[in-house]
Chain A
Amino acid sequence: MTTTTTVPPAGAQPAPDTRPSRPRKRARRTAGEGRMAALLLSPTLLVLALVIAYPLLSAVHQSLFRAESGLDADGFVSDVDAFVGLANYADLFAGESGRRFLNAFANTTFFTVTTVFFETVLGLCLALAMNRAFRGRSFLRASILVPWAVPTAVSGLLWRWIFQSDGIANTLIGSEILWTAEGDASKLAVIIAEVWKTAPFIGLLVLAGMQVIPGEVYEAAKIDGAGWWRQLGSITLPLVKPTLLVAVLFRMLDALRMFDLPFVLIGPGKESVETLSMLAWDESNQLRYGSASAFAVVLFLYVAIVAIVFVKVLGADVTGAKELKLLSKKSAKKSRSLATSELKKAEATR
């Protein structure tokens, strides 16, 4: 695959001539064409360099410095940004700041794992429900979207009202749980609010994946005597797997940088729900830009590693390259028995 791809990086710009024809047949590009392509691409790369590469490199650069501030005799701050090498990173694992970092790291991971798990399960259920033909289906679809459409800060406030000590959550369960105080209850509150908000996202993406499964597949399965569970396990799930993986990947990357929900719902500075983003924000708020950058860089690496592992190991198809291939294969084949080919493909993707 790597040898046949042409110059532009995979996701950047599908060259106009990537029709389903085989690469062998493609006319060799002339030098002028290549240069032209480069010229046309460079504005895009420039923007990427400015909004991604520059801030990233500058954060890494900043994370190597620390403001050695002190007060002079008149009480004025005399601070110099001293180069401290990797000291900001070393501090992530030692002393008080190390404890906070590990706590935030554990919280971030915990929230990511739990919320994405529940969202996926709930999202799948939502999609299955929405995929059936019934009266008022479009209304249900629209209403399921509502939590996703509410801005996170607003939904944080909303849930704060629900979870306050004399709020509706406590009234419903008939006990007094202090959801917004430090403790495990606050973690649960964040998970509930987050799942409520983002399960529709997974639900809708998965629904889109389900919609493209041809009805004939199910008809064939029915004729072969497969029950609902069998259809779910052998047709629906394998065929929505590529979509589901992408949805889960997006959610994981999103959850790893969770900030606004715990910030608004529980409050800044509460260790039970402090995530890495909140910690970086707090440090920069205290004007300690060096360690704030170090936190941010570590978070970036963490997110990047998770994304790479996810794409490489589970084969999440983010750019749609595989999808294109599948489609081209399909159109090329002109198969009479769609059902069998789909099933085969399902086997292949598994």
Chain B
Amino acid sequence: MRQRRRTWQTLLATTASLTVAAVALTGCGGTAPDAKSTPKAAAASFEGKGPINYVSNRDASGAANKSIEEWNAAHPEEKVTFIELPDSADAQRQQLIQNAQIKSDTFSVLNLDVVWTSEFAANKWIMPLPADAVPTDKMIPATVNAATYRDSLVGAPYYTDGALLYFRSDLLKAAGIAAAPKTWDEMKTACKAILALPEAAGMSCYAGQFDKNEALTVNFSEAVASAGGTIVDADGKPTVNTAEAKKGLNLLVDGFKDGMFPSDAITYLEEQGRRAFQDGKVVFLRNWPFVYASLTATDGSSKVNGKFDITSIPGTDGPGVSTLGGRSLAISPFTPNKATALEFVKFFTSQEQAQKRLALSSRAPAYASLYADPTVVAKRPFFPTLLTSLNNAQPRPKVVQYGATTKAIQEEAYAAITGKKDTDTALKDMQAKLTELSK
């Protein structure tokens, strides 16, 4: 038996020493506890030139690549490499955060969804930008607001997105309604008249996105904002337990209760809603601009081509308030070549580049004046309406713990619209959860 023990000793000793060596080699030492205590002053200086990496979501149009190629041709010593992240926003955020947490210098310029701005800024994973870096006065105010954290600009708006109300102009005309509805009440009245028409048999009035998903947060925020309420105030404190928020949520709850929404709208995301509208199942559809291309398809897939029009989403007293989508560019404090990064961000988000990209990409630019360009409008007739929507838009709750916040909102709003909770209880519970998160 002694022999066996010695064998074990050798086994253990070799394994242990190899493990130690491997751990030392790979540097699994764990992160230092003072990770976040970098001095503030260091964040303000932009020094160092050299090659950088631009990390972004996919750009199928190739417009972003064109901009980068142009930059690279002019700056051979400071080449920009495009790093593409997975399609899922969650996966993108996870990779960006992981890289920031280990202070990796791989990602220099980050392409951030507007709702991540606060989280990244508060954790010092992105740097405040100098005041003159971005021509904010030429941009749509809501896009600048969305890229701002506590009064300092931390991102340069890249492209933006707002809600549109698609409606069946042919049916409105047939029912003798002259103007597109501006409020929920007008929309309901219009629906009553339209659904009485024989050609509208079996149709429903309105569809949004109500599946338990980020899209529900969007639709809920819009309903609340359109009714004059807010989800959080300027300091990030929750304000959903109010009469206005209740009025907003009730719009959605009653929509389901009264049969104004199709009963399966509870499973709708953007795609399902688009299909319902395209197949002639709903009269009104709240959606993003990207569905415009499918709705106007001439290959027969769309039954509504030429039969619909676009307006702003409805509110309670006037046009509603859209939430804001889109992306902005931010600079990682862990990249050694900050000067190049800043110059690249300035170049990439300049009006000139935005205009060039418009030829290829359907993403809505942050510059207001581009929406009036006749050549652009000829190609994308929804741009003027979109600009109205964007001028009116509000960002989704600007909070550091956005992931948990949106989840709490979805949870409670979903319970309310499926009738599991009444509006008061749902909003009270939401307020409690958000208060816990804002601490």
Contact = CB atoms under 8 A, between A and B. Distances in A.
B264 A46 contact: no
B97 A31 contact: no
Contact of A38 (B8, B23, B124, B263): B8
A45 B8 CA distance: 12
Contacts of A54: 19, 23, 28
A31 B36 contact: no
B267 to A, nearest CB: 5
B97 A287 contact: yes
A43 B149 CA distance: 51
A164 interface: yes
A77 B272 contact: no
Interface in B1-48: 3-4, 6-8, 10-11, 14-15, 18-19, 22-23, 28, 33, 36
Contacts of A71: 122, 400
Contacts of A109: none
A35 B6 CA distance: 8
B19 A46 contact: yes
Given A181-B266, A267-B212, A286 B403 contact: yes
Nearest to A41: B11
A74 B40 CA distance: 11
Interface string B400-435: 110110010011001000100000000000000000
Contact of B264 (A30, A75, A165): A165
Contacts of B123: 76-77
A38 B264 contact: no
Nearest to A180: B267
A49 B15 contact: yes
B36 A77 contact: yes
Contacts of A180: 211, 267
A206 to B, nearest CB: 37
Nearest to B94: A285
A176 interface: yes
Majority SS at the chain B contact face = helix
Interface size bucket, A side?
35 or more
A39 B36 contact: no
A79 interface: yes
Contact of A34 (B6, B410, B418): B6
B267 A178 contact: yes
A181 B266 CA distance: 7
B10 A165 contact: no
Interface in B113-156: 121-124, 149-150
B432 to A, nearest CB: 10
B90 interface: yes
Interface in B210-259: 211-213
Given A31-B3, A38-B7, A267 B213 contact: yes
Contacts of A79: 36
A310 B412 CA distance: 41
Nearest to B438: A71
A342 interface: no
B14 A39 contact: yes
A333 to B, nearest CB: 33
Contacts of A287: 97, 403
A323 interface: no
Interface string A257-296: 0000000000101100000000000100111000000000
Interface in A168-196: 176, 178-182
Given A34-B7, A76-B36, A180-B211, A269 B410 contact: yes
B211 A267 contact: yes
B14 A42 contact: yes
A179 B211 CA distance: 12
A7 interface: yes
A59 to B, nearest CB: 13
B379 interface: no
B404 A286 contact: yes
B435 to A, nearest CB: 13
B22 A50 contact: yes
B37 to A, nearest CB: 8
B33 to A, nearest CB: 7
Q: Which of B6, B11, B36, B411 has the largest number of chain A CB atoms within 10 A?
A: B11
A42 B19 CA distance: 10
29 contacts: A7-B4, A7-B7, A7-B8, A31-B7, A34-B7, A35-B7, A35-B10, A38-B10, A43-B18, A46-B15, A46-B22, A54-B19, A54-B28, A75-B149, A75-B150, A77-B122, A78-B36, A164-B272, A176-B264, A178-B264, A178-B267, A181-B267, A181-B418, A182-B212, A182-B418, A269-B212, A269-B411, A282-B407, A287-B403
Interface of A: 7, 29-31, 34-35, 37-39, 41-43, 45-46, 49-50, 54, 70-71, 74-81, 164-166, 176, 178-182, 267, 269-270, 282, 285-287
